[in-house]
Amino acid sequence: MCGRFTLTEGLQQLQTKFEFECSEELIPHYNIAPSQQILTLTSDGSKRTGQLMKWGLVPYWAKDIKIGYKMINARAEGIDAKASFKMPFRRKRCLILADGFYEWKKTEGGKQPFRFIMNDKETFAFAGLWDTWTQDGSPLYSCTIITTDSNSVTEDVHDRMPVILPADVYTDWLNPGLQDTEYLKSLLVPYPAEKMDKYPVSQLVNSPKNNSAELLAPLNSI
């Protein structure tokens, strides 16, 4: 699964790298948690737009907003057949920007958090889905992160990892007119392990109330 991640780069730098328009305000986040507002990129087929959405998908047909608490992740397996995800998978795909994510490893001393990053320390993009839920005329935009099997970097910590997309498929993934589900499903694979790294971090990250740069510091030992 993916239950916590980071995004610390400035908006202007992100716009240059990912080529999107955005009118939102963005501050560095070192411990993003479910139900918070997170930066997503969508497209109308011609331009990319950055928008803050609630992390935890609330399908348009949902009767209760609380369903979002169970929808922070969407398993890649069978995603085009599941009621909550099949329509967004066809027409409402998004990128969710991050520069690292956390997972917890079971040890004799308790659960040890690790941070996973790219070898080059660059920001990357999770494959996501989004939807719009309306109550009393007010729209709620929400999203979920797609997960897949672990790779050799993540497998000793967790058996799942978020789908990280390579830059050369961003345009296809965001294109609402592209509905070749077999091709789209073929993108939902573990990211190449040789391009990733991990390191242990402080258990301060266990609480989403903690949100400071010190959370990114590696532990000397575990």
Q: How far apart are CA 119 and CA 125, in angstroms?
A: 15
Q: Which of 209, 155, 218, 185 is nearest to 75 (CA)?
A: 185
- Measured CA to CA, the distance from residue 57 to residue 39 in angstroms comes to 14
Instruction: Select which of 2, 22, 94, 143 is catalytic.
Output: 2
**Annotated catalytic residue, options 22, 94, 103, 143:** 103
d(CA 83, CA 71): 12
Strands 138-149 and 124-135: antiparallel
CB contact at 8 A, 208 and 4: yes
- Measured from the Cβ of residue 72, the count of other Cβ atoms closer than 10 Å reads 21
Catalytic residue status for 143: no
Query: Is 19 tagged catalytic?
Result: no
Residues carrying an active site annotation: 2, 103
